[in-house]
Structure 1
Amino acid sequence: MSPFLYSLFTHDCRPADGSDTIIKFADDTTVIGLISDNDETAYREEVDRLAEWCDTNNLLLNTKKTKELIVDYRRNADPHPPIYIKGTAVERVSSFKFLGVHISEDLIWMTNCSKLVKKAHQRLFFLRTLRKNHLSSDILVNFYRCTIESILTNCITVWYGNCSASDRKALQRVVKTAQRIAGAPLPAIKDIYRKRCLKRAGKIIKDPSYPSHGLFTLLPSGRRYRSLRTKTTRYRNSFFPTAVRLLNSAT
């Protein structure tokens, strides 16, 4: 109930400009600003408004725990001046952990994958311990699905499409190791990714109120979906274009 109540009590904390977005979950609030033509006015004013809103509603905004991440692919990008909250500069980072996912400024998922693999390897120790105690293969598989696969596939529809080949191999090696320990076949990470993309796309298609519902448009034939135009490999491998391709290949 805590995340729901927080969102309910802070419903009036909304962005004033269309280029900004405020995401709230539990006691975590994130401000996202789309900067165009080097004009950061709307974004900086949004941060100031958020600080004022916190003061008005008796909420403490911890500047020391606040981080700023800039995603800028321009070759000759001008340096961005720091953000200040009540006279204190916000620390700028190259990556940070957001709801369990490590996001980097270049949107490369090497850090996220390495963290997941490291955490999964720690859980493999317990899987081996269970095997040494002669537990059945079914129990070992259930343990893997609950404690290891859940880690490897956390928010997989967000990051797996743009993972490097080496990162995908590292993730799959964990699965193969667990498979040898459990003595039973386990689903590949790639298959889980495809299945979850299709499941998520199906929910979006059934929900007309979803913000990205319009991206799934049927062709006049009514059988296939219109492909999304992509200019970069990063966008082409992201969730929505991938989901459309998977839906069309499934028909």
Structure 2
Amino acid sequence: MGLISDNDERAYLEEIIHLENWCQENNLLLNVSKTKELIVDCSKKQERHYQPVRISGTMVERVDSFRYLGVHISQDLSWSCHTNSLAKKARQCLYHLRCLRDFRLPSKVLWNFYTCTIESILTGNITVWFGNSTKQDRQALQRVVRSAERITHTELPDLQTIYYKRCQTKARRIVKDPTHPNNRLFSLLKPGYYASGVPNDWYVDVVVFTVAFLWFSFACGIPSVSRGD
């Protein structure tokens, strides 16, 4: 990860050179064919043109999105590409769920199949992307859940509920682990502050945002946030 500031690419290109030199010194070989360059430009100015990146004389492919740890990250930092991929993959599994139903298997078996396959696909790394996904993207994923409900004739948990529960579980694990590098980002509320009229959803959203930010920081190699004295 490198930073391009004031349209000056020198620091960014120097980081790539340092990485290449470090790999050579440690007898490591970079696979340029599997290396991708993703530029995130949040400015509203006209489209800028950046120098091509070369490693060992080979040009690195520049992409609009790439998959990292099962999550599609786009250059506009939206999650439409990722949710579209999940919806497509999950809809393919609905066919197998219908086949099991046609075999007249018990509802418990259908529910187990849904949980192990379709729900697993839809909720993979959900604490990272669901909170910032658009309403349209969420509805597309939820339609898959509704289709599964009609097939299994059972009520299935919605994605919003799963999202909140997993964020809270992750936050509790960090709070209980004093050795976790991000444990200091969580602090207990003062007595009586919880009942001061602040909506409960506000606390949930804070926990959800913190968990999502921590995962994204880890995935992108961003150092943990530190507070100065």
TM-score interval (norm. to shorter): 0.7 to 0.9
Match of 1:146 in 2: 116
Match of 2:34 in 1: 65
**Deviates further, 206-215 or 108-117:** 206-215
Task: Please state how far the C-alpha of 1:38 moved relative to its aligned partner.
Answer: 4.4
Task: Please state how far the C-alpha of 1:49 moved relative to its aligned partner.
Answer: 2.6
- CA distance in 1 between counterparts of 2:92 and 2:154 reads 20
Q: Which runs of 5+ in 2 are unaligned?
A: 195-204, 214-229
Letter in 1 for 2:50: H
**Deviates further, 106-115 or 79-88:** 79-88
Q: State how 1:1-251 maps to structure 2 within 5 Å.
A: 32-76=1-45, 78-221=48-191, 224=194, 239-240=209-210
Letter in 1 for 2:128: V
Letter in 2 for 1:65: K
Q: Structure 1's 114 and 100: CA in aligned 2 closer, same or farther, altered over 3 A? A: same
The answer on whether the counterparts of 1:113 and 1:171 sit within 8 Å (CA) in structure 2 is: yes
Task: Please state how far the C-alpha of 1:86 moved relative to its aligned partner.
Answer: 1.4
Higher RCO (CA < 8 A, seq sep 6+): 2
- CA distance in 2 between counterparts of 1:39 and 1:144 reads 50
Task: Please state how far the C-alpha of 1:238 moved relative to its aligned partner.
Answer: 6.6
**Deviates further, 172-181 or 37-46:** 37-46
State the TM-score, normalized to the length of structure 2: 0.79
- CA distance in 2 between counterparts of 1:168 and 1:58 reads 45
What is the DSSP-based 3-state SS (H/G/I as helix, E as strand, rest coil) of the residue aligned with 2:67? strand
Aligned-pair Cα RMSD in Å: 2.6
CA deviations 1:203-231 (Å, max 9, x no partner) are: 1212233333332223333865xxxxxxx
The answer on whether the counterparts of 1:162 and 1:237 sit within 8 Å (CA) in structure 2 is: no
Residue identity over aligned pairs, in percent, reads 53
Task: Please state how far the C-alpha of 1:236 moved relative to its aligned partner.
Answer: 7.9
What is the DSSP-based 3-state SS (H/G/I as helix, E as strand, rest coil) of the residue aligned with 2:73? strand
Query: Which structure shows the bigger proportion of residues in strand conformation?
Result: 1
Q: Structure 1's 97 and 222: CA in aligned 2 closer, same or farther, altered over 3 A? A: farther
Task: Please state how far the C-alpha of 1:199 moved relative to its aligned partner.
Answer: 0.7
The answer on whether the counterparts of 1:69 and 1:94 sit within 8 Å (CA) in structure 2 is: yes
The answer on whether the counterparts of 1:51 and 1:85 sit within 8 Å (CA) in structure 2 is: yes
What is the DSSP-based 3-state SS (H/G/I as helix, E as strand, rest coil) of the residue aligned with 1:76? coil
- CA distance in 1 between counterparts of 2:183 and 2:43 reads 30
Match of 2:220 in 1: none
Q: Which runs of 5+ in 1 are unaligned?
A: 1-31, 225-234, 244-251
Task: Please state how far the C-alpha of 1:168 moved relative to its aligned partner.
Answer: 0.6
Letter in 2 for 1:117: A
The answer on whether the counterparts of 2:167 and 2:207 sit within 8 Å (CA) in structure 1 is: no
- CA distance in 2 between counterparts of 1:238 and 1:82 reads 37
Letter in 2 for 1:73: C
State the TM-score, normalized to the length of structure 1: 0.72
Task: Please state how far the C-alpha of 1:172 moved relative to its aligned partner.
Answer: 0.6
What is the DSSP-based 3-state SS (H/G/I as helix, E as strand, rest coil) of the residue aligned with 2:49? coil
